[in-house]
């Protein structure tokens, strides 16, 4: 088995190579990419089926790279290995993982033994394995009281990109009233309404973005991916108009 390791930190890359060699005798070759763009080229050229993927990288993040890999080869087994347990990453992975695909999400702070278990479970046995901290986020997401649903999250992304309500409605296939209702709901869930100060009025859209970043509902990688999706949507609109 050939494994592609996508990691931009040399220390973490060396550590993972050692653990792979120690844990999986099935591995015959380990290839290395330092960002998502390189990962896409390497996986395509080498027909890689097993990947260990960092999430936060320059040039192209792990979510974007994984989406490309899974689009081209849905059977690819990917273990996401990250320092971050952001809700944004969890949503990003859930949105792109193909049905029945094997994947894992493990924090870099996980003990070596747990990393070994995850590598074997995902890359060799084709199972799904998610870190305990990520499970905590999943349990939180199961409670609708404070967690945005998919339509609210989509409106939040468009708000963060600077879109006005009418454009959001057109892009998401919603009525204007529905968009405005989603905004009211996400303001409440993000705690924007609880921060009202009569002596210092706040811009709710800006405050919602601030709260989303502070709570890690959004992160920079999510916004980069959202901008690319918006660019594709605008290109499609221009093509239809032409």
Instruction: Look at residue 137 in the predicted model and tell me its pLDDT.
Output: 62
Q: Are strands 129-130 and 77-82 parallel, antiparallel or unpaired?
A: unpaired
The whole-number pLDDT of residue 143 equals 54
Average pLDDT of the residues in 13-35: 95
**CA 48 to chain CA mean position, Å:** 21
Q: Does domain 2-137 have CATH number 3.65.10.10?
A: no
Query: How long a stretch of residues is the chain?
Result: 242
* CA dist., res. 11 & res. 84, Å (int): 17
Q: What angle do CA 184, 170, 61 make, to 5 degrees?
A: 80
Question: Could you give phi then psi for residue 216, rounded to 5 degrees?
Answer: 65, 25
pLDDT average, residue stretch 3-20: 96
The CATH number given to 150-234 is 1.10.10
Give the model confidence (pLDDT) of 83-103 as tens digits: 988 888 888 888 899 988 899
CA atoms within a 13 Å half-sphere pointing along the CA-CB vector of 240: 6
Residue 141 has pLDDT above 60, yes or no: no
Backbone φ/ψ region at 127: left (φ over 0), alpha (ψ -120 to 50), beta: beta
* Segment 29-81, tens digit of pLDDT: 999 999 999 999 999 999 898 999 999 988 889 999 999 999 999 999 999 99
Domain boundaries, the chain: 2-137, 150-234
Q: Give the tens place of pLDDT for each residue, 100-119.
A: 889 999 999 999 999 999 99
* pLDDT for the residue numbered 140: 60
Residue 178 has pLDDT above 60, yes or no: yes
Contact assessment for residue 92 and residue 222, using Cβ atoms and an 8 Å cutoff: yes
Q: Which residues pair with 130 in a beta bridge?
A: 105
State the chain's mean pLDDT as an integer: 90
The three-state secondary structure class of 12 is: helix
């Amino acid at each position: 088995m050939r494994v592609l390791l996508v990691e931009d930190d040399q220390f973490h890359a060396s550590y993972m190579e050692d653990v792979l060699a120690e844990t999986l005798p099935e591995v015959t070759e380990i290839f290395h990419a330092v960002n998502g763009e390189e990962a896409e080229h390497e996986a395509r050229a080498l027909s890689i089926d097993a990947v260990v993927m960092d999430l936060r990288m320059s040039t192209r993040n792990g979510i974007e790279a994984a989406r490309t890999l899974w689009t081209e080869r849905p059977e690819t087994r990917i273990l996401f290995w990250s320092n971050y347990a952001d809700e944004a990453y969890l949503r990003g992975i859930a949105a792109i993982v193909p049905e029945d695909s094997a994947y894992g999400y493990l924090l870099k702070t996980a003990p070596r033994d747990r990393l070994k278990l995850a590598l074997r479970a995902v890359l060799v046995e084709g199972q799904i394995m998610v870190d305990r901290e990520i499970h905590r986020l999943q349990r939180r997401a199961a409670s609708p009281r404070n967690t945005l649903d998919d339509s609210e999250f989509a409106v939040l992304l468009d708000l963060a990109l600077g879109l006005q309500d009418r454009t959001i409605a057109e892009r998401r296939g919603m009525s204007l009233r529905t968009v405005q209702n989603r905004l009211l709901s996400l303001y409440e869930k993000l705690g924007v309404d609880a921060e009202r100060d009569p002596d210092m009025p706040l811009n709710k859209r800006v405050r919602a973005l601030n709260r989303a970043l502070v709570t890690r509902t959004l992160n920079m990688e999510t916004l980069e991916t959202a901008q690319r999706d918006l660019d594709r949507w605008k290109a499609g609109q221009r093509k239809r108009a032409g």
